[in-house]
Amino acid sequence: MRLKQHTGSLMLLLAAVIWGSAFVAQSMGMDHIQPFTFQALRSLMGSLALLPVIALFGRRDKKAGRQPMPRENRHLLRGGLLCGLALFVAINLQQFGLVTTTAGKAGFLTALYILIVPIYGLFLGHKPGAALWVAVLIAAAGLYLLSVTERFTIARGDFLLILCAFFFALQIMLVDHFVQKVNGVKLCAMQFLVCGLLSLGAMFLFEQPRADAILRAAGPLLYAGVLSSGVAYTLQILAQRTTPPAIASLLMSLEAVFAVITGVIVLGQVPTLREIIGSALMFSAILIAQRGSPPRDAHPEPPDTEQC
């Protein structure tokens, strides 16, 4: 059992590396294509990348004699539409924010959803502990250092990324609701399909996609679509079967750290001292919030978002 837990931890660590470096892929893709175009193609690729996983699990369920109920299909359709809509807003805000923000800063600003989710829970009657409020105060200080200039202004890209964190948090709450009723991989594929189609419509309305530009962005698109969505999400599902939620959430939150590291290595985006201190405070807040979150009794299929 201990070996399985170690294997699961390694899987989640690899997933965090993929998710963190996906911020760099998104930044590189913007050198060639516009935001809606990138997210439309990336999301549709992500949905297609999950089809083999769905087929594999489908064969396993068939052998076990499990068949989806009509009610489950209705929940899947409704959940896919709602989660896909929230994801569409979140990832496109993130993509537009990356136009003027470094990959490392984007990773930490997006990670605000980890703190926002329990705050949303207040409206559902959840009672967060004192650790959450301590984490929020520390995150506010980190956010100030990361995004607020000496003139007390916030750059447009940073503001979009903070806003996207609220929509990612909403998407996580929606997924957390529907994943209890449907297969998690199918839900993720469905939400990516909805998000991709909505982004495709926005692409044709507001942008002028060109085939040659899309081909030049093929590498970042494949990385963000296939690896970040298909491979990393599959790793997460397999890993969380044997990994306790507290350890899993801690490992997955490392994506923000890997976003900074890959941004420095690949793009040469060296953070300032102010940004380093702000990132350290943000990461500390994430750890405190996760340690203060109540553990779940079971290990359901995980909902994840930018991580889907």
Residues in the chain: 308
CA dihedral (7, 9, 14, 15) positive or negative: positive
d(CA 256, CA 281): 12
Q: Is the distance from CB of 305 to CB of 260 less than 8 angstroms?
A: no
CA dihedral (76, 78, 83, 85) positive or negative: positive
Q: Is the distance from CB of 221 to CB of 42 less than 8 angstroms?
A: yes
Q: Is the distance from CB of 303 to CB of 172 less than 8 angstroms?
A: yes
Q: pTM for this structure?
A: 0.82
Which of 287, 274, 250, 270 lies closest to 103, judged by CA? 270
CA distances from 209 to 38, 45, 142, 206 (A): 10, 17, 38, 10
- Per-position pLDDT tens, the chain of length 308: 566 667 878 888 898 899 889 999 999 999 999 999 999 999 999 999 999 888 887 888 777 777 767 788 899 999 999 999 999 999 999 999 998 888 888 888 888 887 787 778 777 777 767 777 788 788 888 878 877 766 667 888 999 999 999 998 898 888 878 887 888 888 889 999 999 999 999 999 999 999 999 999 999 999 999 998 778 877 877 786 677 655 666 677 788 888 888 988 998 988 888 888 988 888 888 778 766 555 544 444 444 444 45
Query: DSSP state, 162?
Result: H
